Amino acid sequence: MDTFIVKKVLNNNVLIAKDRAEEEVVLIGKGIGFHTKKNAFIHEEDVEKLFVLRNQSEQEHYKRLLPDMDEKILQAIIDSLDIIRRKSNVSLHEQVHVALTDHLLFAINRLLKGMEMKNPFLTETKALYPFEYEIAAEVVDFINQTLDIDLPAGEVGFIALHVHSAITRMGVSDINKYARLVTTLVGTIEAELSIKIDPDSIHYIRLIRHIRYTIDRVVKDEHVDEPAKIAILLKQEYPICYNLAWKLIKIMQQTLKRPVYDAEAVYLTMHLVRLTSKYE
């Protein structure tokens, strides 16, 4: 475990310190700066709910946020991060401390000014990341109760993406890109098949998850075997679904800037066939 020497107390919750290697770090924790003096020693194992920011650019960004932040709001955000850590049971990527703090501060200030940002990917996010969505819902409920405000339901979706980013260490911008891609693909399917998929149905959830796993495989360059005989059969028996699958594949390739293996079109066609049978 690390031992830190306090160099500056920024407020009750944030300290500037040096680690054993004499590198500057930002220590974040509820009440960590209360009655703490310069040159005091802090042992990581003695501090509950401690977050350490080591990345220099993340440190600078975080420190720029502090002057505009009410102490009660900062405490609520730090406690929210601890909820995410406890519920996910993983060591969170330090970037989430800055990114989520930035997002929540912006969201709370927007709300206090009577402005609300719509979340066009809320339904997809809930289906894509049910575990993260559940944690985000608890975070929003906690913040609303603690600060006596009413963050809208759309915030659960936004925060769920940050939770997913913290757990997987994937950038929020990439996660957003994939959510938009899923929305585009679902819209294309509905338009091409002249159907409207009930977002609360099991068919919608299955479709969303199939697309998600396809995107994950493409991003990771994971190869799946192509059942050649089934491909020929599907092309002959279900030309509409087969052609649509290839249209979706091309959209994925353009968005992800990666090749998609032919086998993905086969499995996607099979899923579309099953989907259309539910709407006939």
Last residue of a domain, one of 170, 191, 218: 170
Residue 127 sits in the same domain as residue 207: no
Residue 84 sits in the same domain as residue 62: yes
Ranges in the chain, pLDDT < 70: 1, 45-49, 226-227, 280
pTM here?
A: 0.80
Tens digits of residue pLDDT in 73-106: 999 999 999 999 899 888 777 788 899 999 999 9
Residue 187 sits in the same domain as residue 154: no
How many H helices and E strands in the chain? 11, 5
Nearest of 155, 77, 78 to residue 115 by alpha carbon: 155
What is the CATH classification number for the domain harbouring 132?
1.10.1790.10
Residue 241: predicted pLDDT: 94
* Backbone Cα Rg of the chain: 23
Last residue of a domain, one of 170, 189, 220: 170
Nearest of 159, 164, 183, 188 to residue 174 by alpha carbon: 164
What is the CATH classification number for the domain harbouring 211?
1.20.58.1950
Residue 15 sits in the same domain as residue 113: no
Residue 226: predicted pLDDT: 67
Residue 205: predicted pLDDT: 87
Residue 201 sits in the same domain as residue 249: yes
Q: How far is CA 259 from the centre of its chain?
A: 24
Residue for token pair 């087969």: 242
Residue 143 sits in the same domain as residue 90: yes
Residue 132 sits in the same domain as residue 206: no
Residue 143: predicted pLDDT: 97
Nearest of 86, 103, 110, 87 to residue 173 by alpha carbon: 103
Alpha helices in 169-238 (DSSP H): 172-193, 202-220, 228-237
Last residue of a domain, one of 121, 146, 170: 170
Residue 199 sits in the same domain as residue 232: yes
The residue range of the domain holding 245 is: 178-278
Residue 23 sits in the same domain as residue 94: no
Cα–Cα distance measured from residue 15 to residue 6, given in angstroms and rounded to the nearest whole number: 7
Residue 49 sits in the same domain as residue 70: no
Look at the chain and report how many structural domains it folds into.
3
What is the CATH classification number for the domain harbouring 15?
2.30.24.10
Residue 165 sits in the same domain as residue 145: yes
Residue 7: predicted pLDDT: 94
Residue 129 sits in the same domain as residue 202: no
Residue 47: predicted pLDDT: 61
